[in-house]
Amino acid sequence: MARMRAIDAAVRVLEKEGVDTAFGVPGAAINPLYSAMKDRGSIRHILARHVEGASHMAEGYTRAKAGNIGICLGTSGPAGTDMITGLYSASADSIPILCITGQAPRAKLDKEDFQAVDIEAIAGPVTKWSVTVKEPALVPMALQKAFHIMRSGRPGPVLIDLPIDVQLGEIEFDEDTYEPLVPYKPAATRAQAEKAMAMLNEAERPLIVAGGGIINADACAELVELAEITGVPVIPTLMGWGAIPDDHPLMAGMVGLQTSHRYGNATFQRADFVLGIGNRWANRHTGSVDVYTEGRKFVHVDIEPTQIGRVFAPDFGIVSDAKAALSQFIEVAREWKAAGTLRDRGTWADQCRYRKSVMLRKSHYDTVPLKPQRVYQEMNEALDRDTCYVTTIGLSQIAGAQFLRVFEPRNWINCGQAGPLGWTLPAALGVRAALPDKKIVALSGDYDFQFLIEELAVGAQHKLPFLHIVVNNSYLGLIRQAQRGFDMDFEVSLAFENINAEDDGDAEPGYGVDHVAVAEGLGCKAIRVKSPNEFGEAFARAHELMEEHQVPVVLEFILERVTNIAMGTEINAVNEFEDVLCLDPELSLDQPVELDPVLQSATQKREAELSTA
């Protein structure tokens, strides 16, 4: 037991809970915490340029690695309100981050003091717990409770607000006996597993929908094992992408209105049973509930009881951690397979694989300005299998999900439900801080990139290298495409004649912001690509620059102004807009087929024929 400032005890608690990195911006009301961190020297601090950016860095840090919890620090008033978007984003995607704010002295809280805002109330709707700690002795226990809440049940963020006099108050604290609390995680029972597996076994054409909860639970190996034992194809959600490798024979594609595959939607429409694990039936995945559920039975497994039945009532619901449920399912499936009572799914799985082989979208375009599809094709060819992609929202993200390939858990780090512009760049910095040896590629449209572009300086200052691909059409592309329904193209163009463009022959006239100049002004490196014959050299040079300078490298691709990316209002009514590939448009995709090695390369040959036609 030792006597110390409450804030010194707070830093010791953070250490005991496994914290070694924090993102933030110091200020008068949070300076005591910074003084405690300086004295201990145990927590690395990364100085952001904007507190919202720091909150997204904390998100990226958490999402990058199982067990991580990102920490965001800021002073009183606007620092806390700047964190709200990060808290909302984390809450929506079940991501635990801890935001700590300084606050005016307790005696000033109701007197409209400078930068004194009721951040506890403001943050309440977008956190699992939000609290202003008003007694110094409560500080260590409030932090202990925060970590317990973040890790228990459905993960999520917490905000702790610390008045400056609370931080400075002296307390007794015994750091030697402090231990983190064991998180609460519900688990499926044997009876529940048997019922769910019986329903799956009765179905003719079952699917497993794998949500982000599987990745949060670090249960991807169990997912793949269940799929392989049962032979049931897997449909990952956008947040679950990577839970099963894209090239696994039982990975059947993604489903949805936007971030989906043609073959995924086609397969889902033929399914008669769906086992959803760790997913929330998001509207961009389902479209209207009537179309999505018609003719199908559903089992829904989720760690949060109120998620089951929130969007639609499943035929059977199980409240369970994904890993615990999958372990039970595997045990039952193994026993039934050994007893010979597990049905053979070979024909159904072959049909799903055939659709995956032939129902493709064209990507090989040689036009100038570039089509985005070609950029993603080149990314697939130039980037390693272990590449980690980071992205948020827009046509860049939607096309990326349609064309890129993901092979490992946490190699697709995406802001799913909230989708705030500007998220990508700071989140990528957080991922880099968590994974110093990982190959990280951020993917942004020009508007997402501009939102928090100043955070490039953080990467330069702290030597956090990653490749940031910017697909630039000088448009709010997704909003422009949505405005088609109103027969307008209004206030969504970012293009203007940059008066400095003529000073740099490499700048693109009429495209507005010179991202290369801005990136280099912020201490990073940048390359602009305008034609297909520049792809190979550009990717190679970008990697050389990262290795040499250890800073973010921006690789900007100048796109045609307007490209409509496949999407629709229902999963059975996706408008493709651009060319698609199918070996035989008249093929009955339900027929049993014999797959052979020739089929795997046939679509590539067909694509080459179309590209030269």
Residue span(s) of the chain under CATH 3.40.50.970 come to 2-177, 361-558
CA distance 379 to 381: 5
Stretch 252-275: mean pLDDT, rounded? 94
For residue 112, pLDDT over 80 is answered with no
Q: How far, in Å, CA of 593 to CA of 347, rounded?
A: 8
Mean of the per-residue pLDDT values of the chain:
90
For the stretch 168-201, pLDDT in tens is 999 999 999 999 999 999 999 999 999 999 999 9
369 has a pLDDT exceeding 70 = yes
Superfamily of domain 361-558: Thiamin diphosphate (ThDP)-binding fold, Pyr/PP domains (3.40.50.970)
- The answer to whether residue 421 scores a pLDDT higher than 70 is yes
For 237-338, strand residue ranges (E) read: 273-277, 297-302, 316-319
Catalytic positions: 25, 51, 421, 476, 479
Whole-angstrom distance, CA of residue 600 vs CA of residue 357: 7
Fold classified for 2-177? Rossmann fold (3.40.50)
Residue 98 pLDDT > 90: yes
Query: Can you identify the CATH homologous superfamily of domain 190-358?
Result: TPP-binding domain (3.40.50.1220)
Closest alpha carbon to 159 in 103, 110, 239, 217: 103
Q: Partners of 2 in the beta sheet?
A: 173
Strands (E) across 366-513 are located at 388-391, 412-414, 440-445, 467-472
Q: Write out the residue limits of the CATH 3.40.50.1220 domain(s) in the chain.
A: 190-358
At 589 the pLDDT is 57
* Per-residue pLDDT at 492: 76
Whether the pLDDT of residue 606 is over 50: the answer is no
Between the CA of residue 93 and those of 152, 223, 280, 398, 570, what are the distances in Å?
A: 15, 20, 10, 18, 23
What's the CA angle centered on 517, arms 515 and 520, to 5 degrees?
A: 105
pLDDT: is 496 or 248 the higher one?
A: 248
Closest CA to 520 of 465, 451, 463, 456: 456
Residue 585 has pLDDT above 50, yes or no: no
- Kindly report the pTM of this predicted structure: 0.91
